[in-house]
Amino acid sequence: MSSRASIWDEARRDPALLLWVLAAALVLYVFITGGYLIAVLHFAAIYAIFVTGLNIFMGYAGQVSFGHNAFAAISGYTSAVLTAKHGWEPLAAAA
């Protein structure tokens, strides 16, 4: 018999491996099932990046940042106009 450890034994020793396996399963599920969940996860990722930057300004530095919000609003509006009116691909408009 082989003395090879199962994936669950490895996950108990290294919890990061379990997180990677779960993330890979989620990515596969999202690509198989369709677009709605992808859109929700994209918005969650965008908000997470935005809130992290805002937390650095307001939480650690104690500064109120109106420019941060204005930059996010202008870039979102520009991306929406480029995709809706000019027919750009969403990924190209977001870049």
| Residue ranges of domains in the chain | 1-33, 34-95
Degrees (nearest 5) of the Cα angle 87, 45, 35? 50
Structure tokens at 42: 């994209």
The answer to whether residues 63 and 57 touch, using CB atoms and an 8 Å cutoff, is yes
Q: Label residues 44-63 b or e (16+ Cβ within 10 Å = b).
A: eeeeeeeeeeeeeeeeeeee
What is the pLDDT, as a whole number, of residue 30? 75
**What does pLDDT average to in each consecutive run of 10 residues of the chain (95 residues)?**
66 78 83 79 85 82 78 87 86 73
What is the pLDDT, as a whole number, of residue 2? 56
Distance from C-alpha of 46 to C-alpha of 71, rounded to nearest angstrom: 13
Distance from C-alpha of 9 to C-alpha of 92, rounded to nearest angstrom: 43
Give me the amino acid identity at 53.
G
What is the pLDDT, as a whole number, of residue 27? 80
